[in-house]
């Protein structure tokens, strides 16, 4: 720049990236790519100002990608160690992505985040193009590829012992050591062996040779009984190319406790619908896991019903149909982590027998009645180990709840009284199972009546209605007398009403003045002088009255602090103190609301004059919050105004600080002070 009528006194460069210069000539390096508007302002000796602008575009330089690996070409079991040596001339690399030529990029987080180092095993032989993609901080991406060769490996003998385990984590020093239960026949399985780069579970051209205590065995699987001593064994694997490898394994027997089911003998023969829980017991140790196995064994096939591993040391036996069931249970020893030997037994489930009886239902008081159970039967439909067959039956009789003499399938009984009767037939089959057949009949002659009360269980202060009807099948019947006795809840008789010769119908409505019992004694009579007496007791209940006695929020009133919200429900009514009135159990639900939202509900059952404490833990949020408890009674309540309580509180926010990079440092602290407001209605 120049000035035709003077000199330039001042230069000011603005590079549009936050940097400036006052030199006449300035060198400047841009850190990021993009388009920049560069301006130069000059001032001459007469204070005249001129500004010129230039637009420039800065282009990102892609990163330089390079990596290498050590050790040359390797086999399918070797570890390739890749090292990244990439760099970016105008920035830094922020992302790495490895493609090992197997059809997909690596999802190994450790590789992609390690930046300059990655371990890789190639499971198949061949030539692979390994590519490294890198991205710089300007999102520029570049890559490079190296070709590697992977050759086949020798067979790798491996074994699996279903009843054993190895220490975790597996290392080169411990992966050949197996811990097994002592004094047990153990299955040894060579299926995990690798041969020629792939899983060789079903290859017929792979041969397996076992050497255990100087004895040789052949095959992919063998069984061997191990005692208490540590034992070394060798497995040699020969593939179809003649490659072979031998590996030595160590077997370390461990003492594992036994497991059984408590009183299992009681469950071997049961009947359909029997509630049965299998409870395990152990000798010499404890278990932390259990495996339950149930199989149905039919005539033609077996069906697996349960095969589950869980932490339950007991099993509620499912309600299955008739049949034969194999039950097994094992437990994992908490110390050795080995599984106990299976405890197994067989459960036979029988259908209940068929029970039925026949009789002539024209019955009068004083007649002999014959009951015939010949059509009753019991049958086993057959399973894997038991053939189909009829079962032996035994008979037990009862009339109106009283056991009758005799156990024959046909029995004759004298009807000493008339009216409604019940005959019970219990048919029991061998070895297990019974069925009851119950029927009722009417022995003619004596009158009978229908007594109804409303409500069936009246409460203090309600109207109570008594309705009694007298009937007779042959003639008319009437109410000879009715006595109503009223007792309070302490057993004191408070009133007695007597009604004589009331005809065939009686109706009375009274107001309940006491809680306790009402006893109705009455006698019915027909025109022939036959009579029936009866007595009925009615329970009279009081009323519940639930109210919230207290509501507290316990804890530091700060954000993130745990608050213990505690409230007390009380079932109490002041009426208890003024009248002979014993209240009632309160049954219902109570809700806890925070800011008008239900966060917890409970069911409760609180006796008269009793209280119950409820607790809920809540993590505090900053600000003002309102807590409310609302209770409801499902079995009746007359006073509803005291069934809720609210309480509010303010919770402090966390004290935070921040540093602003420009123009200076500012520290801000905010303190929130919590207050509580309690609304409480006392018991009336």
**pLDDT, position 107:** 52
pLDDT band of 106, cuts 50, 70, 90? low
Q: What CA–CA distances, in Å, run from 301 to 251, 272, 295, 298, 320?
A: 38, 21, 10, 5, 17
Please report the sign of the dihedral spanned by the C-alpha atoms of residue 281, residue 283, residue 288, residue 289: negative
What's the gap between Cα 610 and its chain centre?
34
Q: What DSSP line would sit under 397-452, residue for residue?
A: EEETTEEPS--SSEEEEE--S-EEEEEEEEEEESSS-EEEEEEEEEEETS-EEEEE
Residue 530 has pLDDT above 80, yes or no: no
pLDDT band of 661, cuts 50, 70, 90? very low
pLDDT band of 447, cuts 50, 70, 90? confident
Asked if 63 and 97 count as a contact pair (C-beta separation under 8 A), the reply is no
Place of tokens 């809700």: 591
Residue 667 has pLDDT above 80, yes or no: no
Q: What is the pLDDT of residues 1-24, one digit of tens each?
A: 777 788 888 888 998 888 898 888
Asked if 281 and 260 count as a contact pair (C-beta separation under 8 A), the reply is yes
For the ranges 37-51, 186-200, 384-398, 604-618, the lowest mean pLDDT is seen at 186-200
Angstrom distance (rounded) from CA 458 to CA 520: 14
Nearest to 252 by CA among 347, 130, 166, 381: 166
Angstrom distance (rounded) from CA 468 to CA 518: 15
Q: What average pLDDT does the segment 242-261 reach?
A: 92
């Amino acid at each position: 720049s120049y000035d035709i009528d003077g000199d330039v006194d001042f230069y000011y460069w603005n590079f549009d990236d936050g940097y400036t210069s006052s030199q006449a000539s300035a060198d400047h390096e841009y850190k990021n790519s993009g388009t920049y508007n560069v301006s130069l302002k000059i001032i001459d000796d007469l204070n005249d100002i001129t500004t010129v602008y230039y637009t420039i575009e800065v282009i990102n330089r892609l990163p330089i990608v390079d990596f290498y690996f050590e050790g040359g070409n390797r086999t399918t079991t070797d570890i390739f160690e890749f090292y990244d040596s990439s760099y970016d001339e105008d920035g830094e690399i922020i992302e790495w992505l490895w493609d090992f030529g197997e059809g997909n990029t690596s999802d190994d987080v450790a590789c992609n985040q390690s930046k300059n180092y990655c371990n890789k095993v190639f499971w198949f032989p061949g030539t692979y193009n390994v590519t490294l993609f890198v991205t710089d901080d300007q999102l520029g991406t570049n890559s490079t590829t190296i070709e590697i060769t992977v050759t086949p490996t020798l067979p790798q003998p491996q074994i699996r012992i279903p009843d054993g385990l190895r220490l975790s984590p597996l290392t080169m020093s411990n992966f050949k050591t197996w811990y097994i239960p002592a004094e047990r026949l153990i299955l040894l399985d060579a299926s995990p062996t690798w041969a020629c780069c792939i899983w060789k579970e079903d290859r017929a051209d792979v041969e397996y040779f076992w050497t255990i205590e100087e004895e040789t065995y052949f095959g992919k699987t063998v069984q061997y009984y191990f005692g208490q001593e540590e034992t070394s064994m060798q497995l040699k694997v020969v593939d179809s190319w003649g490659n072979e490898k031998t590996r030595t394994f160590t077997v370390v027997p461990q003492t594992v406790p036994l497991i059984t089911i408590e009183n299992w003998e009681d469950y071997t023969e049961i009947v359909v619908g029997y509630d049965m829980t299998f409870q395990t017991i152990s000798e010499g140790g404890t278990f932390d896991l259990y495996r339950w196995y149930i199989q149905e064994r039919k005539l033609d096939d077996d069906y697996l019903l349960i095969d589950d591993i869980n932490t339950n040391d007991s099993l509620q036996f499912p309600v299955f149909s008739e049949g034969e069931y194999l039950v097994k249970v094992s437990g994992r020893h908490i110390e050795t982590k080995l599984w106990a030997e299976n405890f197994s037994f067989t459960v036979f489930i029988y259908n209940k027998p068929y029970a039925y009886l026949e009789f002539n239902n024209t019955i009068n008081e004083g007649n002999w009645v014959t009951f015939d159970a010949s059509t009753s039967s019991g049958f086993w439909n057959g399973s894997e180990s038991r053939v189909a067959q009829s079962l032996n039956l035994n008979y037990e009789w009862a009339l109106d709840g009283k056991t009758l003499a005799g156990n024959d399938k046909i029995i004759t009984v004298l009807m000493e009284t008339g009216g409604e009767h019940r005959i019970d037939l219990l048919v029991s089959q061998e070895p297990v199972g019974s069925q009851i057949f119950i029927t009722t009949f009417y022995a003619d002659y004596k009158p009978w009546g229908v007594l109804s009360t409303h409500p069936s269980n009246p409460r203090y202060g309600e109207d109570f209605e008594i309705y009694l009807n007298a009937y007779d099948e042959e003639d008319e019947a009437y109410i000879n007398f009715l006595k109503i006795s009223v007792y309070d809840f302490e057993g004191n008789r408070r009133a007695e009403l007597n009604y004589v010769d009331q005809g065939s119908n009686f109706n009375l409505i009274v107001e309940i003045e006491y809680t306790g019992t009402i006893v109705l004694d009455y006698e019915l009579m027909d025109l022939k002088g036959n009579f029936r007496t009866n007595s009925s007791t009615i329970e009279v209940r009081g009323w519940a009255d639930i109210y919230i006695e207290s509501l507290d929020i316990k804890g530091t009133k700060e954000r993130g602090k745990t608050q213990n919200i505690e409230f007390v429900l009380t079932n109490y009514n002041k009426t208890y103190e003024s009248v002979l009135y014993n209240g009632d159990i309160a049954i219902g639900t109570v809700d806890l609301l925070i800011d008008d939202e239900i966060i917890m509900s409970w069911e409760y059952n609180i006796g008269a004059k009793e209280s119950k404490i409820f607790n809920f833990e809540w993590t505090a949020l900053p600000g003002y919050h309102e807590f409310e408890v609302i209770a409801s009674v499902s079995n009746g309540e007359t006073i509803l105004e005291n069934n809720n309580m609210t309480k509010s509180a303010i919770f402090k926010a966390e004290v935070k600080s921040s540093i602003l990079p420009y123009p200076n440092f500012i520290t801000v602290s905010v303190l929130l002070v919590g207050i509580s407001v309690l609304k409480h209605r006392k018991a009336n």
